[in-house]
Amino acid sequence: MRISPVKFKPMKFSINRLLQAAIFSACSMAASGLIAQDDAAQLNTVLDIDALYTPLASQPIYGETATSLLQELQTKHYSSIEIDDNFSSIVFDSYLDALDGSKLYLLKDDVDRLSAYRYTLDDSLKNGSVEAGFAIYNIYYKRILERMIYAVDRVENHIPEMDFTLNESIQIDRENAPFATSVAELDEIWRLRIKNSVLSLKLTGDDDEQIKAKLSKRYRNQLSQIGKTNDRDIFQAYLSTVATAVDPHTSYFSPRESENFNMGLSLSLQGIGAQLTTEEEYTKVAELIKGGPAERGSELQAGDRIIAIGQGVDGELQDVVGMRLDDVVAQIRGEKGTVVRLNVIPTDAVSESSATIVSITRDTVKLEDQSAKKEIIELSYNGGSYKIGVIDLPTFYFDFEAASRGEEDFKSSTRDVHALLDELKEENVDAVVVDLRNNGGGSLSEANQLVGLFIETGATVQIRYSGLRNGFTRSFGDNDPEVAYSGPLAVLVNRTSASASEIFAGAIQDYQRGVVLGGQTFGKGTVQEIIPMGYGQVKLTRSKFYRISGASTQHRGVMPDITFPDFYDAYEDIGESSLDGALPWDTVRAVEYSPYQAIQTLLPKLKELHQQRAEQSADFIYLQDQIVRTKELRQREELSLNELVVKNEREQSRRIEFEAENKRRLAKGLTLREWVEEGADNEDQVLNDDGSLTSISDTETGVDEIKEEDPLLLESGRILADFIALNQNLLSAQNDTPPTTNR
């Protein structure tokens, strides 16, 4: 989660968002609109499992590809891979988890019978057979069809009898729950899930008939989509599980998946510049691509759930809940310059009543749109004035095609940052912050060269390759003695700073060239290579990164010198350490290097001064409180299905958010908000200094009416100001270095 470097947008915290998001039931939110005429026939469809279920079979090419995949894994992966009974057991558990991790479809008897495959998958794969994967999937396929039939029956025939005064509840996270031992037990689990779906809509004001129409359409659409499952889907799911059993960054892509992957960042650049994923029945925005049309428009956010898609400025919105991801992507994908409209449930929404329409003009994400950018923060601190230059680097990019053609002005993150540093020096900045928050990495050579802008010469990273006798390690470094910037430096990172970002931050920290600030980084210290196969391709881990100190960035990431509150701290499932099968942290021999400054000596005092400010900072206190409350909510195990209880929880949530935000505003001398009852006409109003009320839109609330600098960047500037004061003589000597020319 990124705080804007221009305006501080308070991170929205919602008890209800976490409560609702934790459900992930097949219909916890409703689709927009009622059933159209052409859907009416669907309601009359006879829901008979024997008519709907047809087992799917493998093709010869699938078995041949499985054998080839094992060969690639054993001969080219960084680790030594043994395809044995232990590997088979890992694949078996991973496959079941991928299919039914929430224990909502398969019965215990199903799992017991399927356990006969636990230690035989390795043998069948070696023999060129994927029949076991199809057998497991076919049972799951039948069970999910049965559940959809049950769901349709519940919403079409039993809504009036649902009693929302009972003290019933639903289990939020079923990952560690046992499989149901009977159909009756599974029915009860689904009865409660569907009751929650009905309650969710009831709280938006829908009556029973409206709820029935919406949920019936929803489940029948899902049933229709599930019925479109084909043998390619099963093959992709099974072989993908086989590959990721080795490590989480090794993957298999069938020809269709390969096409999507090769188009850019695995569905990332499909018309709007958004990386999509599935979360139960929803298509969720996993990430907005820097520079893409969605990111530029600022309306779509990571975590939003897409429930309907319309083509053009006035095309009818089509429900996509429960639809296959590739089919959703196909609807979003389109010609440059055309418009697509998305009906989305915002990531922090309580219910569908908060769903909004987002219009995006399709475009191509251009490399220059992801370029490094700069700004200057004017900082008054300790009786002095400081100009802090900020370089925002969203990714480590390099235009290989333009460079190979011999073009002199090809795009490169290092060249762009060098030019920005020259501009900042001309503007006489006192210090520079390189902002790598949410930078997922990119070109290794660019990370290496970027370090070179701040040091004279020396190693920047080590890479250990797989091979005989545990492989070999090679160091890469900067051989150019010119330094683009020699002044005070800070690197700002967070939990989603990964790969090349960790190489840069680690090298700056090891050389004591700058202060690393923020949160623990992701911990991805492995390198993957795409290897074409006869049918599809495999993305294979071939090597590992190591810092010049010898420590791996894998698993542990880079720990900052001074820690800032990071909203990602509330989530334990983010980072390499949360991934099953992640390669371990280890070390290699350090290379020779010398520190540039006495940062480690100054750190105790820098931390002390920072802590004094943080304890008094309204923004830091606000963020810390958000993190604490979010952690507490994520520990909840159940959600009430009592209407009065849920309403009270929602009201309490709004009150907590209201008081926390007004506490922050009061401490900063900002306009306070006026408490209004939920659903009141004046809900979008704020209390002015003169006591009057001013209406503001949702997009303005907490954003346009609060023009604030990013508090984490401001604090980074203050830390650099402290560093200047504590190390004035050394910095003065370094700043006497004459300017360098562009590299």
How confident is the model over 491-522, as pLDDT tens digits?
Answer: 999 999 999 999 999 999 999 999 999 999 99
- Distance in angstroms (rounded) separating the CA atoms of residues 51 and 47: 8
- Hey, what are 577's tokens? 């350490």
Q: Which pLDDT does position 117 carry in this prediction?
A: 98
Q: Which pLDDT does position 704 carry in this prediction?
A: 39
- The one-letter code for the residue type at 66 is A
- The predicted model gives 131-144 an average pLDDT of 96
**Is the model more confident about 281 or about 372?**
372
- The answer to whether 673 and 682 have CB atoms below 8 angstroms apart is no
Based on the residue annotation, tell me whether 524 is a catalytic residue of this protein.
yes
Q: Is 216 helix (H, G, I), strand (E, B) or coil?
A: helix
**Is the model more confident about 199 or about 680?**
199
34 pLDDT tier (thresholds 50, 70, 90): very low
Residue 205 φ/ψ, nearest 5 degrees: 105, 0
How confident is the model over 439-469, as pLDDT tens digits?
Answer: 988 888 899 999 999 999 999 999 998 754 4
How confident is the model over 140-191, as pLDDT tens digits?
Answer: 999 999 999 999 999 999 999 999 999 999 998 898 899 999 999 999 999 9
- Distance in angstroms (rounded) separating the CA atoms of residues 53 and 580: 33
**Is the model more confident about 290 or about 636?**
636
- Distance in angstroms (rounded) separating the CA atoms of residues 128 and 75: 17
Alpha-carbon torsion 295, 300, 304, 307, what sign?
A: negative
Q: Quickly tell me which residue has 């020779």 as its tokens.
A: 592
Range with the largest mean pLDDT of 38-42, 541-545, 675-679: 541-545
How confident is the model over 57-84, as pLDDT tens digits?
Answer: 999 999 999 999 999 999 999 998 999 9
- Distance in angstroms (rounded) separating the CA atoms of residues 715 and 726: 16
Q: How many residues are listed for the chain in this entry? A: 743
Q: Which pLDDT does position 301 carry in this prediction?
A: 86
Q: Write down the catalytic residue from 200, 258, 499, 640.
A: 499
736 pLDDT tier (thresholds 50, 70, 90): low
Residue 517 φ/ψ, nearest 5 degrees: -125, 155
- Hey, what are 569's tokens? 């701290």
- Hey, what are 241's tokens? 């599980």
Q: Cβ atoms within 10 A of the Cβ of 345, count? A: 28
Q: Is 420 helix (H, G, I), strand (E, B) or coil?
A: helix
- Distance in angstroms (rounded) separating the CA atoms of residues 477 and 480: 9
- Hey, what are 721's tokens? 């100001």
Strands 537-546, 458-465: pairing is: antiparallel
Q: Which pLDDT does position 261 carry in this prediction?
A: 61
pTM of the model: 0.74
Contacts 24+ apart (CB under 8 A), 412-417: 412/446, 412/449, 413/371, 413/372, 413/442, 413/443, 413/446, 413/450, 414/446, 414/449, 414/450, 414/452, 414/453, 414/743, 415/742, 415/743, 416/371, 416/372, 417/372, 417/391, 417/393, 417/450, 417/453, 417/484
Q: What kind and span of H or E run contains 376?
A: strand 373-381
- The predicted model gives 608-623 an average pLDDT of 95
Q: Which pLDDT does position 605 carry in this prediction?
A: 95
Q: Which pLDDT does position 397 carry in this prediction?
A: 84
- The predicted model gives 223-236 an average pLDDT of 88
- Distance in angstroms (rounded) separating the CA atoms of residues 482 and 531: 38
Q: Which pLDDT does position 38 carry in this prediction?
A: 36
Residue 135 φ/ψ, nearest 5 degrees: -65, -45
Contact residues for 639 (Cβ-Cβ < 8 A; gap 6+): 19, 22, 23, 169, 170, 172, 196, 646
Q: Quickly tell me which residue has 């960054």 as its tokens.
A: 249
- Distance in angstroms (rounded) separating the CA atoms of residues 641 and 116: 39
- The predicted model gives 92-105 an average pLDDT of 96
pLDDT beyond 50 at 670? yes
- The answer to whether 120 and 129 have CB atoms below 8 angstroms apart is no
- The predicted model gives 122-147 an average pLDDT of 96
- Distance in angstroms (rounded) separating the CA atoms of residues 414 and 660: 41
pLDDT beyond 60 at 1? no
Q: Write down the catalytic residue from 411, 425, 524, 544.
A: 524
How confident is the model over 679-719, as pLDDT tens digits?
Answer: 544 444 433 333 333 333 333 333 335 567 899 999 999 99
- Hey, what are 647's tokens? 């309403």
Strand partners, 442: 396
Residue 587 DSSP symbol: B
Based on the residue annotation, tell me whether 510 is a catalytic residue of this protein.
yes
- The predicted model gives 298-308 an average pLDDT of 88
Based on the residue annotation, tell me whether 93 is a catalytic residue of this protein.
no
pLDDT beyond 50 at 398? yes
What does the H/E/C string look like for 598-632? CHHHHHHHHHHHHHHHHHHCHHHHHHHHHHHHHHH
- Domains of the chain: residue spans and CATH: 31-246 (no CATH), 269-361 (2.30.42.10), 367-612 (3.90.226.10)
- The one-letter code for the residue type at 234 is I
Q: What kind and span of H or E run contains 343?
A: strand 339-345
- Distance in angstroms (rounded) separating the CA atoms of residues 422 and 663: 41
- The answer to whether 224 and 42 have CB atoms below 8 angstroms apart is yes
Q: Cβ atoms within 10 A of the Cβ of 524, count? A: 27
User: What's the mean pLDDT when you consider all of the chain?
Assistant: 83
Give the rounded percent of residues in the chain with a pLDDT score beyond 70: 83
35 pLDDT tier (thresholds 50, 70, 90): very low
Q: Which pLDDT does position 280 carry in this prediction?
A: 62
Q: Write down the catalytic residue from 392, 416, 430, 510.
A: 510
Distances (CA, A) of 280 to 24, 209, 305, 325, 634: 6, 25, 11, 11, 18
Q: Which pLDDT does position 241 carry in this prediction?
A: 96
